[in-house]
Amino acid sequence: MRSFASDNNSGAHPAIMEAVVKANAGHVKSYGDDEISIRTDEVFKEFFGSQARIHYVTTGTAANTLGIRAVTHTYNSVICAEQAHINNDECGAPEAFGGIKLVPVPSKDGKLTPGSVAPYLGHIGFVHASQPKVISITQPTELGKLYTLREIENIVEFAHDRDLLVHLDGARLANACAALGCSFFDMTTALDVDLLSFGGTKNGCLMGEAVVFLNPDIGEGFPYLRKQAMQLVSKMRFVSAQLERYLKDDLWLENARHANAMAKRLAERAGAIPGVRIKGSVDCNAIFAHIPPEATDILLRKYYFYVWDEHDHTVRWMTSWATTEAMVDEFVADIGKAVRAVS
């Protein structure tokens, strides 16, 4: 079956696989003390600044949960949008492992604003209530929307004025930077974001993620926390080698631009079909569309994608670095046939 369900469904980029194979040669030190991991640390610092501290993990859930856990106590809370991945798609990992209370904020597009967060800060200093410590934003959001740099800056300023930290879930950070035409540094370090989960798996890596502390005053003891959480990979070179190649020669940008372009192509061509309505703008590599439910049933026999909202018949289509124009055009043709068959 062809998949437009998630960029996770794509394989690893050939250049990433080649880097992993190359890293397989010889004997090297374990647990991140190898030359590849040390070298990759320096590459990350070129993108995020010399103060950045980088810790490699294998999953986005680990990156989000451990990053947040490292900067909170069990009496703290983390404010996030109700659609946030940490709230809906981590199987309660922040709560179960970190003992952290998540406070979801209603949002139409998955974005937070100072105004939407402010009502949830009324119990600061009240001993009977969990104490807010982190505002977590997702860029792009689970609904495929982008924060502008100014919007992130506004949240950071709001948070820091109240002694709060800002965590950025960057599972698709590359897609956001490609769409906005900015660098990783522009979107994070330059805006005083405190820490982020850096994702590579959705954009061509095999299983490459990282927790990046940008604020030099936080994250003390993280190496021990990572070990305790069973994310200190013994053969760390195979994780860091992926990310080193991912960042080299702007492969991350090439992959993200392609995924975004394929989403635009799909939205434009599918949206021209009578009976198909693209919902909202297509900001990166996620498309939300309304199609007749009977047409969805037909398409699901050949393609894999998510029914996002059964009540209003919204589906989500995702593209990736591996999505080709031919795949998009074939899918669009089949969408047209399915819609016409039920109209």
Question: Please, what are the domains in the chain?
Answer: 2-6+251-341 (3.90.1150.10), 13-247 (3.40.640.10)
| CA within 13 Å, CB half, 308 | 20
CA 227 to chain centre: 23
pLDDT digits (tens, 9 = 90+) for 251-260: 999 999 999 9
What type of residue sits at position 218? Answer: I
* CA gap 38, 58 in Å, rounded: 17
pLDDT digits (tens, 9 = 90+) for 179-205: 999 999 999 999 999 999 999 999 999
- pLDDT score, position 36: 98
pLDDT digits (tens, 9 = 90+) for 21-70: 999 999 999 999 999 999 999 999 999 999 999 999 999 999 999 999 99
Altogether, the residues listed in the chain come to a count of 343
C-beta neighbour count of 25 within 10 angstroms: 7
Please report which confidence band the pLDDT of residue 174 belongs to, taking 50, 70 and 90 as the band edges. very high
- pLDDT score, position 33: 97
Contact 147, 139 (CB under 8 A): yes
Nearest-CA neighbor of 282 among 299, 309, 262, 301?
Answer: 262
Percent of the chain with pLDDT over 90: 98
- pLDDT score, position 6: 96
Contact 210, 59 (CB under 8 A): no
98 pLDDT higher than 90 = no
155 pLDDT higher than 90 = yes
Contact 60, 85 (CB under 8 A): yes
Question: What are the distances in angstroms from CA 31 to CA 55, 114, 223?
Answer: 11, 40, 10
Tell me whether the omega of the peptide bond preceding residue 140 falls within 30 degrees of 0, making it cis: yes
163 pLDDT higher than 90 = yes
Nearest-CA neighbor of 109 among 142, 79, 134, 78?
Answer: 142
Q: What are phi and psi for residue 204, nearest 5 degrees?
A: 120, -10
* CA gap 11, 202 in Å, rounded: 9
pLDDT digits (tens, 9 = 90+) for 273-324: 999 999 999 999 999 999 999 999 999 999 999 999 988 999 999 999 999 9
| CA within 13 Å, CB half, 77 | 19
C-beta neighbour count of 274 within 10 angstroms: 9
Rg (CA), the chain: 21
Please report which confidence band the pLDDT of residue 340 belongs to, taking 50, 70 and 90 as the band edges. very high
343 pLDDT higher than 90 = no
- pLDDT score, position 75: 96
Nearest-CA neighbor of 270 among 308, 327, 203?
Answer: 327
Q: What is the mean pLDDT of residues 163-176?
A: 98
Contact 313, 294 (CB under 8 A): no
Helices (H) and strands (E) in the chain, counts: 14, 13
- pLDDT score, position 57: 98
Q: What is the mean pLDDT of residues 79-87?
A: 98
C-beta neighbour count of 278 within 10 angstroms: 18
Q: What is the mean pLDDT of residues 154-160?
A: 98
Structure tokens at 226: 């990572």
Nearest-CA neighbor of 7 among 168, 152, 173?
Answer: 173
Please report which confidence band the pLDDT of residue 227 belongs to, taking 50, 70 and 90 as the band edges. very high
Nearest-CA neighbor of 43 among 32, 52, 34?
Answer: 52
Question: Which residues, listed in sequence order, are joined to residue 136 by a DSSP beta bridge?
Answer: 167
- pLDDT score, position 61: 97
pLDDT digits (tens, 9 = 90+) for 112-141: 999 999 999 999 999 999 999 999 999 999
Q: What is the mean pLDDT of the chain?
A: 97
* CA gap 34, 22 in Å, rounded: 14
Helix (H) or strand (E) holding 122: none
Contact 136, 169 (CB under 8 A): yes
